[in-house]
Amino acid sequence: MKKRNIFSRQAVNFLWVLLGLGAGLQFIEVIWAASKGYLGFFSMMVVIVTEMVITGSIYVIIYKFLIKPCNETRKLFKHFIQSGSFQELIDQDYQIFPEQNEVMQKLDSILDKKNIIELSTKHAELLALQNQINPHFLYNTLEAIRGDALCEGIDSIADTTEALSTFFRYTITDTGNLVSVEDELENVENYFKIQQYRFGDKLDMRVNFPDDYARILECKLPKLTLQPVVENAIFHGLEAKAEGGVITISLEMTEKKLLINIHDDGIGIDEEELIKINQRLEITSGPLTEEKRKRGGIALPNVSRRIKLLFGDEYGIHIYSIPNLGTEVRISVPIITNREQRNQ
């Protein structure tokens, strides 16, 4: 590294020597001409000033377009080698090229070591959990319980066991990153059946479709997007309400987005806490704080982050709430169907 720096300085010094030599020769030539003619002292002063201006202009041009960009590039790479990030240099005064900040931000996002490590850790934990559970053993056991319940005429246990088996099958089986809205709604219905066995008639769930519901059912979204939101609504919105309540899922399509609104008429969220939750939902990097007991704790920020990492910051989750009236969670994702996936 030192040899390269010495070579660079020597090259610049050599360039200045050549420039100085050329300027000196030109100066001597003009002085000689002046001494033979009638230019006199005034003419020599004009030549000297002109030579100084030319030399200064050459220096400014070389410094601005050659020396300074090289120095700033060295600073950028030196800082990156030391810290592993460009974050502190974004929006600084010096700019090597117009798109510098955008390039550094994208590089920081791609090279976010903490984010990569965290995602890798979560993936490893999921694989470990899947390996610990023998799916066939679980399904066979639940099916045996369901069979006994049917023989005894206990339909509620049979239905709940079937819903639990289907729910586990969907959760554990890796079917890819994106699934259809229809699959997600079916998983939510199975999850809700399991919760109804516990809460009974205190809970109700409704799904509202627009006229173009067939196309909505084909749309794609990340797996396990809806169930964590419904779970949140039950345990943080409706469970504390003595008379229970209703969860309403509404789906609509705009020109570019699929919007899924999950509303509960539970206890709501106070304004200060709501602001904190929505701030957590906007985070796309760094570790997530373990706050499982709070509404919008670890589950919803995880879901929102997955959406943003897959589709961009304009998508994700936002929560609206009025204390004692209810809460609405809005999920926005791009409109993706099998046809769009094939074209990508």
Rg (CA), the chain: 34
Q: What is each CA distance from 164 to 141, 192, 225, 233, 242, in whole angstroms?
A: 11, 10, 18, 19, 26
Domain ranges of the chain: 2-103, 198-343
Q: For residue 212, what pLDDT is reported?
A: 79
Q: What is each CA distance from 312 to 6, 149, 260, 316, in whole angstroms?
A: 45, 47, 17, 8
Lowest-confidence region among 20-29, 50-59, 161-170, 276-285: 20-29
Q: Is the pLDDT of residue 291 over 60?
A: no
**Cβ–Cβ under 8 Å, residues 87 and 108:** yes
**Cβ–Cβ under 8 Å, residues 247 and 208:** no
| Average pLDDT of span 256-282 | 94
Task: Compute the CA torsion angle 146, 151, 156, 162 (nearest 10 deg).
Answer: 20
CA distance 267 to 323: 6
**Cβ–Cβ under 8 Å, residues 210 and 261:** no
SS (H, E, C) 226-269: HHHHHHHHHHHHHCCCCCCEEEEEEEEECCCEEEEEEEECCCCC
pLDDT single digits (tens) 131-180: 555 666 677 777 788 788 788 788 888 888 888 888 888 887 765 679 99
pLDDT single digits (tens) 9-43: 545 554 554 555 455 555 555 555 555 554 455 56
| Average pLDDT of span 180-206 | 91
List of residues 6+ apart from 318 with CB closer than 8 A: 278, 281, 329, 330, 332
Residue 270 carries which side chain, given as an amino acid letter?
D
| Average pLDDT of span 77-90 | 59
Q: For residue 100, what pLDDT is reported?
A: 61
Question: Which is nearest to 284 in space by CA: 257, 259, 312, 261?
Answer: 312
Q: 220-222 and 245-253: which strand pairing?
A: unpaired
**Cβ–Cβ under 8 Å, residues 265 and 325:** yes
Q: For residue 257, what pLDDT is reported?
A: 95
Confidence (pTM) = 0.61
Report whether CATH 3.30.565.10 matches the domain 198-343: yes
Q: For residue 10, what pLDDT is reported?
A: 46
Q: For residue 183, what pLDDT is reported?
A: 94
